[in-house]
Amino acid sequence: MNGILVIDKKSSFTSFDVVAIVRGILREKKIGHSGTLDPMATGVLPILVGNAAKAQSLLPDTDKKYDADFRLGMTTDTLDITGRVLSEVQCSFAAEDIEAIIPQFCGDIMQVPPMYSAVQKNGVRLYDLARQGIEIEREARPVSVAELRLVSFDAQSQSGRLVISCSKGTYIRVICDDIGKALGCGCVMTALRRTAACGFTLEDAVTLEQLQTIKDEGRIEDVLRPTDSIFRCFGEITVSEKQAVRFSNGAALSLDRLKRAAGYDDGTLLRVYGEGKFLGLGIIDTTCGELKMKKNFSHGN
């Protein structure tokens, strides 16, 4: 069994919890995920099954999309509603006040990771230090926010919802916290739902309960997407039967004999197909004039 399952994760489950449950449902040992989703968050979590687990280190950095609920007038140690309350103030902002300051958090920005995160500092997870009451300096990291839009706001409760489209590594909690700092009142994230990741949306997703039913009914193939579907943002090339054998055995292919590979920059990754199936990812090496094997998916597909 090889491919991609798109799970609609429940709140309170870690990504590793989901992997363990899917492993039990499918009776498949080789299971991976496409990137951690905080326990309080729900939504799209692509799961890599069987041979597809080899894709984990090669996933393209496509934008992820979220619906994020927030509340003004509060701060916590985790930057979300699950944490220990650090401050509470009364405030009376309007939607226009928020819309006026959120453009400063769009585009290519620098973001400081929160203490309650899996980022490592000197080999130690930041959340391990945070749980000991230790806070250390963190270096800001570049992230990209393609969309940050206020879609609703209730002035009475000072609560609202943002739609955010951003690059890998962006912390939505930090965006909410930064909005609170800019307004001078504090802000916490109260809920988070990932609506898109790795090119998949909630329409593609099933819950763990639905997956169990589908498995019991023998319909896993209805929801198991092919491995190459997670690489749709890469270009593709089809090779001849002989070239497919060479490539599958790890041998490089001459670019001179691959007309459709012409024009690609050095280091470009391509989906390679041959003999009617996805063979793997190839990488363009213009110095050697070759298409080299980056990762072989031909076995078990």
pLDDT at 283: 93
Q: At what angle do helices 15-26 and 208-216 cross, to 10 degrees?
A: 10
Element (H, E) at 245: helix 241-248
Contact 51, 301 (CB under 8 A): yes
Domain boundary among 140, 175, 195: 195
Same domain membership, residue 41 and residue 83: no
pLDDT at 300: 54
Element (H, E) at 183: helix 172-183
- Residue range(s) defining the domain that contains residue 45: 3-61+199-229
In a domain, 101, yes or no: yes
Catalytic: 38?
A: yes
**Domain total of the chain:** 3
Same domain membership, residue 181 and residue 210: no
pLDDT at 257: 85
The active-site residue out of 8, 38, 63, 69 is 38
Same domain membership, residue 190 and residue 203: no
pLDDT at 167: 92
User: What is the CATH classification number for the domain harbouring 46?
Assistant: 3.30.2350.10
In a domain, 100, yes or no: yes
Q: What is the pLDDT along the chain (301 residues), one digit of tens a residue?
A: 899 999 999 999 988 899 999 999 999 888 988 877 888 999 999 999 998 988 888 888 788 999 999 999 999 999 999 999 999 999 999 999 999 999 999 999 999 888 677 777 777 777 777 787 777 778 889 999 999 999 999 999 999 999 999 998 899 999 999 999 999 999 999 999 999 999 999 999 999 999 999 999 999 999 999 999 999 989 999 999 999 999 999 999 998 888 777 778 899 999 999 988 999 999 999 888 889 999 998 865 4
Same domain membership, residue 189 and residue 71: yes
pLDDT at 301: 45
Question: Cα dihedral angle (117, 119, 125, 127), rounded to 10 degrees?
Answer: -10
Same domain membership, residue 148 and residue 85: yes
Contact 271, 234 (CB under 8 A): yes
pTM of the model: 0.89
Distance from the first to the final alpha carbon of the chain:
8
Q: How far is CA 5 from the centre of its chain?
A: 14
In a domain, 301, yes or no: no
pLDDT at 299: 64
pLDDT at 182: 97
Contact 278, 225 (CB under 8 A): no
Contact 171, 35 (CB under 8 A): no
pLDDT at 112: 86
Contact 151, 69 (CB under 8 A): no
